[in-house]
Structure 1
Amino acid sequence: MTVGMIAVHYPEAEHFEDFVARVRKVAAVMRATPGCLSATYWANDTGDAVVSTVEWESDEAVAATYAAIQTADVDVEFDARERRPREILRLRSLS
């Protein structure tokens, strides 16, 4: 059963490009971990939200990805650069 995640981020306008760069680095770390099937990021049409999507082959792969993020040189902390808290949905395939 595959496992997924959708995260919606709301960076402040003046930090939008910096935030996209942060997300790009995190996605690269995720893609490099065993069992990560995809890690992508999007901007909404109005340009005020960044949406990250990740798909893994198992819960163990999710755990490996989060362990890799903890030791990688990436910035995943929520701070004043975001105007509101992130919305994160964990998903499980139905097929």
Structure 2
Amino acid sequence: MTFAVVSVHSPRAEHRDAVLDSMQRYSGVARSQPGLVWTGVVDDAGGRFVGIAVWENEDAARRAAPALMAEVGDDPFTTWDEHPIDSLRGLLR
């Protein structure tokens, strides 16, 4: 069963480009990982960015995590985002 990782960012106006760049780098690394089905970023009309990664299964997502965190794990989201990142992880039904 496919597994989704969703991250909702609320970037401060002056950091929108930095947050989007980070999310696009995450997607770029995800695309090189085994088991990725799809990834992308939604720019909602309310100023949030929603990152979505769909994996073949939870194990594929877990195996990809070190490479993904090596790419974006040190990005200063506590400075860039207005609110803490809202993360959701679970099976797609």
Report if TM-score (shorter chain) is over 0.5: yes
Flag the structure with higher strand content. Answer: 1
Give yes or no for the alignment of 1:33 onto 2:30: no
Following superposition of structure 1 onto structure 2, how do residues 6-85 of structure 1 map, counting pairs within 5 Å? 6-46=6-46, 48-71=47-70, 74-76=71-73, 77=75, 78-85=77-84
Number of residue pairs aligned between Structure 1 and Structure 2:
91
**Paired residue type of 2:33:** T
**Paired residue type of 2:88:** L
Gaps of 5+ in 2: none
Deviations 1:53-89 (A, max 9, x none): 1100012101121021234xx2234321111101111
Distance between the aligned counterparts of 1:70 and 1:43, measured in 2? 22
Residue in 2 that maps onto 1:86: 85
User: Structure 1 vs Structure 2: percent identity of aligned residues?
Assistant: 23
The RMSD of aligned alpha carbons is 1.3
In the TM superposition, residue 21 of structure 1 has moved relative to its aligned partner by 0.8
Distance between the aligned counterparts of 2:59 and 2:36, measured in 1? 10
Distance between the aligned counterparts of 1:67 and 1:35, measured in 2? 14
Distance between the aligned counterparts of 2:15 and 2:62, measured in 1? 29
Provide the TM-score with structure 2 as the length reference: 0.88
DSSP-derived class of the 1:85 partner: coil
Distance between the aligned counterparts of 2:69 and 2:8, measured in 1? 20
Gaps of 5+ in 1: none
